Copies of this chain bind each other. A is one copy, B any other.
Amino acid sequence: MLQHQPPPALDPIFHALADPARRGMLERLTRGPASVSQLAEPLPMSLSAVVQHLAVLEASGLVTSRKVGRVRTCTLDTTVLSQAEKWINARRIAWERAFDRLGVYLAETKPADEA
């Protein structure tokens, strides 16, 4: 098991993304790896809370970490990030195709509404 992990589920990925503190941590990680303390520093909460958010991020696969000495260094995993992106993109594309197939659905249901 060295190069391909189980496919990351969408539930934990989107759940991880649904919190501003966690998105903040991810944004920080886009600027390079960071320690737990560094991730916690700008956030208005205890270190403990940050560690718990980190656990959510790691459970989703969005973040991986390694402990060296007493410092845990975290990095972003963009392949997992792109899983979420792909799902969204697929829905959007599918809907746009459906919209084309249906023609002007809205115009057909309500030809001259005020909205």
Please determine whether A17 and B20 come into contact, CB atoms closer than 8 angstroms: no
Query: How many monomers of this protein are in the complex?
Result: 2
Proximity string of chain A (81-92) to chain B, C-beta cutoff 8 Å, 1 when within and 0 when not? 110110111011
Please determine whether A94 and B11 come into contact, CB atoms closer than 8 angstroms: no
A-side interface mostly: helix
Please determine whether A17 and B14 come into contact, CB atoms closer than 8 angstroms: yes
A82 nearest CB neighbor, chain B only? B92
A72 to chain B, nearest CB (A): 13
Question: Residues on A close to B: CB < 8 A?
Answer: 2, 10-11, 14-15, 17-20, 23, 26-27, 29-33, 76, 78, 81-82, 84-85, 87-89, 91-92, 94-96, 98, 101-102, 105, 115
